[in-house]
Amino acid sequence: MPTRVEDSSFSAQSAVVNKPSNYIYKVILVGDSGVGKSCLMKRWVFEEFHTTTSTICADTQTKSYDVKGEVVTFQIWDTAGQEKFRSMTNNYYRGAHGVIIVYDVTYYKSFDSVKRWLEDVESTSSHDAPPVVLLIGNKTDANGRAVSTIQGKALAQSQDLYFMETSALTGNAVQSSIQILMQEIHKNKELYCRDNTDSAGDVGLLSQKRDKIIITPQDSKKPESVGNRDDNNNYECC
């Protein structure tokens, strides 16, 4: 298993606001309803836990970083997980540089749905420039785990994905997991995306296979879980 190289380029300390961007990347958050996608996005952007209701269609947030004097902006699109919005969600994959697929470690059905979300990614993405895909098992703070870390790793390895487990409630591994995705996208900037300072606006394509990194966070004491599932199996975010 490859070892992660520490990189502080996309740390909280390098975040910036109100500066024109040199690079803009699009990242899509997908997964079943109730797995905590919105909470993950808000934890990443605001570094706080916010309870949310189910997303209708899509929501978006941006965050920018100063990387060696260049401003790199990530647009994260939080999509609806309900089946009735699936056809609309597929429209958001187009042009994405990265995709984060989220499941709830306490709800096996959401894990079982990961392959369906992967099929959507593969059917709507460019084969010449596929997005970087990160698999996240969320709600590690909660009791009653239904999906083991080993199961998550095995699925990620079989599908050639990055993998992390997180808790949007406590913030555990949220920043580091998204940093992995951002680093992998940005290191291919000359091939994968457009530099906004280039008037020609040419888009380069990835031509080489990327090495995947599988990472798990260090064990930590788990706080008391919050939220419960209702009769429709909806869990209060994280």
Report which of residues 58 and 55 the model is more confident about. 58
- Residue 180 and residue 184: Cα distance in Å, rounded? 6
Residues 198, 181, 188: CA angle, nearest 5 degrees: 35
Residue 64 has pLDDT above 50, yes or no: yes
Under 8 Å between Cβ of 58 and 76:
no
pLDDT mean over 136-149: 96
Grouping H, G, I as helix, E, B as strand and the rest as coil, residue 59 is strand
Under 8 Å between Cβ of 151 and 106:
no
Q: Looking at 118-228, which runs of residues are DSSP E strands?
A: 132-138, 162-165
* Paired tokens of 30: 């997908």
- Residue 195 and residue 188: Cα distance in Å, rounded? 12
- What local confidence, expressed as pLDDT, does residue 194 receive? 45
pLDDT mean over 125-131: 74
- Residue 195 and residue 10: Cα distance in Å, rounded? 18
pLDDT mean over 125-140: 86
Under 8 Å between Cβ of 165 and 216:
yes
**Domains with residue ranges and CATH for the chain:** 13-192 (3.40.50.300)
Prediction pTM value: 0.75
pLDDT mean over 59-72: 86
Residue of 61, 42, 82 whose CA lies nearest to 168: 42
pLDDT bucket at 60, cuts 50 / 70 / 90:
confident
pLDDT bucket at 145, cuts 50 / 70 / 90:
very high
- Looking at 79-83, 104-108, 127-131, 134-138, which range is the least confident one? 79-83
- Looking at 25-29, 52-56, 64-68, 205-209, which range is the least confident one? 205-209
pLDDT bucket at 146, cuts 50 / 70 / 90:
very high
Q: What is the pLDDT of residues 176-190, one digit of tens each?
A: 998 889 888 888 776
Report which of residues 136 and 213 the model is more confident about. 136
**Which residues are registered as beta bridge partners of 26?**
75
- What local confidence, expressed as pLDDT, does residue 224 receive? 38
- What local confidence, expressed as pLDDT, does residue 69 receive? 84
- Residue 9 and residue 32: Cα distance in Å, rounded? 31
pLDDT mean over 49-55: 60
- Residue 184 and residue 133: Cα distance in Å, rounded? 10
Under 8 Å between Cβ of 146 and 105:
yes
Residues 70, 99, 167: CA angle, nearest 5 degrees: 95
Sign, CA torsion 46/196/132/86: positive
